[in-house]
């Protein structure tokens, strides 16, 4: 059991609501929880008849507990969520949000622009979303472009216009960039309709357009009346195409599927009687977690961390296993700044939506399990080939360059569940002779392992994409290795014609050669990690090469700005022509004096 003196700790513990943090021997937060009654909740961890394997494992690692008293359960839930987000404790359910989900942004310009946005909300304006995918955003933007003549162009393009562009001719923009085509009042009116449409109030938009059409008609302004009539027609067509059979205005539907230590949460978004989209999420689940804890933690983090977007609906359908509905409702209501209802329907339209979401969650989980079983069998066979009891971490290194230029070393990482892309690394190879792959591999080994001081990030297997030379460089690095854990180093040499299935594996400095059959699951796993390493290296190399090509050495010449640089390149047909030119030839270029020509020539040739 733990060295923690729980009896003394519990003796003076308060019975008020609050949040507690459990620490291990290294002072790391391993669990964050909330409680209506701190004393009762924390006492439950130290009972003799604990039936949860996960809880027993947690308690065995507790060396200290700290707590914060709150005024209510709702405050406790919000604080718990913030601390989980900050500490990412190993025994908590963690909702991983690695991607930046897309939003639609309506900017705060004089003539607002509607566009897709990812990343931090650094621009002033209104953000609608998040949307389940970029495709859903572009679809919405295309719809709006057909219905509302509001600009979607970039600011630079907008500012440079002296006459309307093609979008105006197609009646997809009212040309606010050019004076005299649309008044500010008319444009602002269309922006207001866009705002309502994006808020899921399509029918309100139609009603307002009908009113505008009737007003224009009564005033004998038939051109405006026809414009509004066409808008109404377009909007109704869009609404008809997207309507689902039902009357539900605005809800989120959440379903959870759990099996064999994996979990999938499927969120279905319904706005204005339309299925806006859906998305699968894969929370990180500690071993032996209860289904109710997974569901409750997911819903809490999803909405309190803002992943549910700013436009949280007033009704959210949740799984029946969700705990603490009242306090969840109160906490989400504070984020929404309006009442929220969490329901678990048993019949009717909302239940049908829940069944649809559950079906999607089940399918996604089945896919993950199938992939997991395939990966598991590959790992098992590789363990047998290399005589290892288990494999937790594999790394593969590759070097990419073009005739020795712009060399990049890549390191990709695989775990039991496949690629671990957050651990991937690229290294800019420096101080190595052009084309020296052996030196580049030595450089990569030093960059990756030179400062490693614990076994935690040392791989079980280290694959080297290359022949015996690269393998020997990697093994030489580990010849004076001081840590207890040393990786098995395997060289992967391509076969004849670089055909898959003909690879040779080298171990022990190349003394041992292994040829696996083409159908070998272990070989397929090795090919996967090798190909991923190559892809990651060559992508980095191309980016580096492309960036270098866009930077002319003329940029570094004193006294040569953008115009003179452009004139030189134009006159001599490119950088090679400039390099070959003599000072007197350079001086013939407009804007280049004799003195500057001599300086340019000296600068370019001194760099050689």
In this predicted model, what pLDDT tens digit does every residue of 458-481 receive, in sequence order? Answer: 999 999 988 888 889 899 999 888
The verdict on 409 and 511 lying in the same domain is yes
Q: Is residue 43 part of a domain?
A: yes
d(CA 361, CA 573): 60
SS3 label, residue 451:
coil
The verdict on 525 and 583 lying in the same domain is no
SS3 label, residue 401:
strand
pLDDT per residue over 431-450, tens digit each?
Answer: 888 778 898 999 999 999 98
pLDDT per residue over 380-417, tens digit each?
Answer: 889 988 888 888 899 999 998 877 777 899 999 998 87
Query: Do residues 81 and 305 make contact, with C-beta atoms less than 8 angstroms apart?
Result: yes
Range 108-130 average pLDDT: 83
The verdict on 360 and 404 lying in the same domain is no
pLDDT per residue over 348-375, tens digit each?
Answer: 888 888 988 898 888 888 877 776 666 7
Q: And the tokens for 221? A: 């302004």
Looking at per-residue confidence, does 294 or 134 come out higher?
A: 294
pLDDT per residue over 505-533, tens digit each?
Answer: 988 877 888 888 887 888 889 998 999 99
Query: Do residues 408 and 399 make contact, with C-beta atoms less than 8 angstroms apart?
Result: yes
CA-CA-CA-CA dihedral for 297, 302, 304, 309, to nearest 10: -170
pLDDT per residue over 188-207, tens digit each?
Answer: 988 888 888 777 676 777 77
d(CA 147, CA 193): 10
Q: Is residue 180 part of a domain?
A: no
The residue from 366, 386, 402 where one domain ends is 366
d(CA 522, CA 501): 11
Beta strands 341-343 and 488-493: pairing type? Answer: unpaired
State the total domains in the chain. Answer: 4
Find the CATH number of the domain harbouring 29.
3.40.1440.10
- Please tell me the predicted confidence (pLDDT) of residue 608: 47
Strands (E), 70-177: 103-107, 114-117, 125-128
pLDDT per residue over 227-284, tens digit each?
Answer: 878 777 766 665 544 444 445 668 889 999 988 778 889 888 877 666 666 788 888 8
Looking at per-residue confidence, does 278 or 89 come out higher?
A: 89
d(CA 202, CA 115): 19
d(CA 322, CA 342): 10
- Please tell me the predicted confidence (pLDDT) of residue 367: 75
Q: Is residue 303 part of a domain?
A: yes
- Please tell me the predicted confidence (pLDDT) of residue 541: 82
CA-to-CA separations, 114 to 154, 264, 275, in angstroms, rounded = 10, 33, 22
Distance of CA 288 to the CA centre of its chain: 27
Q: Is residue 544 part of a domain?
A: yes
The verdict on 20 and 65 lying in the same domain is yes
Percent of the chain whose predicted confidence (pLDDT) is above 90: 16
pTM for this predicted structure: 0.48
Q: Is residue 433 part of a domain?
A: yes
Q: Is residue 201 part of a domain?
A: no
Which of 420, 396, 421 minimizes the C-alpha distance to 409?
396
Looking at per-residue confidence, does 233 or 109 come out higher?
A: 109
The verdict on 542 and 568 lying in the same domain is no
- Number of Cβ atoms within 10 Å of the Cβ of 155: 12
The phi, psi pair for 551, rounded to 5°, reads -110, 100
Q: Is the pLDDT of residue 22 over 90?
A: yes
Query: Do residues 280 and 364 make contact, with C-beta atoms less than 8 angstroms apart?
Result: yes
Query: Do residues 437 and 399 make contact, with C-beta atoms less than 8 angstroms apart?
Result: yes
d(CA 126, CA 309): 12
- Please tell me the predicted confidence (pLDDT) of residue 394: 94
Q: Is residue 183 part of a domain?
A: no
Find the CATH number of the domain harbouring 278.
3.30.420.10
d(CA 154, CA 114): 10
d(CA 439, CA 10): 60
- 188, with CB counted inside 10 A (0-12, 13-18, 19+), is middle
What residues contact 269, with CB distance under 8 A and at least 6 apart? Answer: 132, 252, 275, 276, 277, 278
Find the CATH number of the domain harbouring 600.
1.10.150.20
Domain that holds residue 289: 250-366
The verdict on 401 and 361 lying in the same domain is no
The residue from 30, 58, 87 where one domain ends is 87
The verdict on 502 and 572 lying in the same domain is no
494 sits in which H/E element = none
Find the CATH number of the domain harbouring 424.
3.30.420.340
């Amino acid at each position: 059991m733990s060295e923690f003196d729980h009896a003394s700790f519990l003796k003076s513990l308060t019975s008020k609501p609050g949040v507690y943090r459990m620490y291990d021997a290294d002072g790391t937060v391993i669990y964050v929880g909330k409680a209506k009654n701190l004393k009762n909740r924390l006492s439950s961890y130290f009972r003799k008849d604990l039936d949860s394997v996960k809880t027993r494992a947690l308690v065995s690692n507790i060396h200290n507990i700290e707590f914060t008293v709150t005024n209510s359960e709702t405050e406790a839930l919000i604080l718990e969520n913030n601390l989980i987000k900050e500490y990412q404790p190993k025994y908590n359910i963690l909702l991983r949000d690695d991607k930046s989900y897309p939003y639609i942004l309506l900017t705060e310009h004089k003539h607002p622009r509607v566009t897709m946005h990812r990343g931090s909300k650094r621009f002033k304006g209104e953000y609608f979303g998040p949307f389940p995918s970029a495709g859903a955003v572009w679809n919405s933007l295309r719809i709006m472009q057909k219905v509302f003549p509001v600009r979607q162009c970039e600011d630079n393009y907008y500012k440079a216009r002296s006459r309307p562009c093609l979008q105006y001719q197609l009646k997809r923009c009212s040309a606010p960039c050019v004076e005299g085509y649309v008044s500010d009042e008319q444009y602002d009116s269309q922006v207001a309709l866009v705002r309502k449409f994006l808020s899921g109030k399509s029918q309100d938009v139609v009603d307002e357009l009908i009113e505008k059409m009737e007003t224009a008609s009564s005033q004998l302004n038939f051109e405006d009346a026809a414009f509004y009539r066409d808008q109404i027609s377009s909007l109704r067509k869009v609404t008809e195409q997207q309507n689902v059979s039902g009357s539900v205005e605005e809800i989120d539907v959440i379903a959870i599927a759990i099996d064999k230590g994996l979990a999938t949460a499927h969120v279905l978004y319904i706005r204005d009687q339309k299925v806006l989209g859906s998305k699968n999420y894969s929370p990180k689940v500690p071993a032996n977690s209860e289904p109710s804890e997974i569901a409750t933690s997911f819903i809490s983090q999803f909405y309190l961390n803002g992943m549910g977007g700013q436009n949280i609906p007033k009704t959210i359908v949740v799984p029946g296993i969700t705990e603490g509905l009242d306090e969840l409702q109160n906490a989400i209501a504070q984020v929404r700044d309006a009442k929220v209802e969490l329901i678990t329907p048993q019949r009717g339209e909302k239940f049908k939506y829940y069944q649809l979401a559950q079906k999607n969650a089940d399918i996604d989980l089945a896919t993950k399990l199938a992939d997991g079983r395939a990966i598991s069998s590959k790992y098992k066979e590789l363990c047998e080939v290399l005589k290892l009891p288990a494999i937790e971490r594999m790394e593969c290194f590759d070097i990419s360059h073009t005739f020795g230029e712009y060399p990049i070393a890549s390191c990709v990482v695989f775990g039991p569940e496949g690629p671990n892309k957050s651990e991937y690394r690229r290294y800019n190879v420096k101080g190595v002779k052009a084309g020296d792959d052996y030196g580049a591999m030595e450089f990569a080994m030093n960059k990756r392992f030179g400062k490693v001081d614990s076994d935690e990030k040392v791989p079980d297997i280290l694959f080297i994409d290359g022949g015996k030379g690269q393998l020997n460089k990697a093994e030489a690095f580990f010849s004076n290795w001081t840590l207890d854990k040393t990786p098995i180093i395997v060289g992967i040499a391509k076969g004849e014609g670089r055909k898959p299935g003909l690879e040779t594996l080298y171990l022990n400095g190349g003394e041992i050669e292994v040829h696996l059959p083409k159908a070998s699951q272990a070989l397929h796993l090795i090919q996967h990690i090798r190909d991923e390493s190559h892809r990651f290296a060559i992508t980095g190399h191309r980016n580096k090469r492309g960036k270098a090509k866009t930077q002319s050495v003329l940029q570094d010449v004193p006294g040569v700005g953008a115009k003179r640089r452009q004139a030189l390149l134009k006159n001599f047909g490119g950088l090679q022509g400039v390099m070959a030119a003599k000072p007197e030839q350079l001086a013939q270029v407009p804007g280049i004096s004799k003195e500057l020509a001599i300086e340019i020539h000296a600068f370019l040739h001194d760099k050689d």
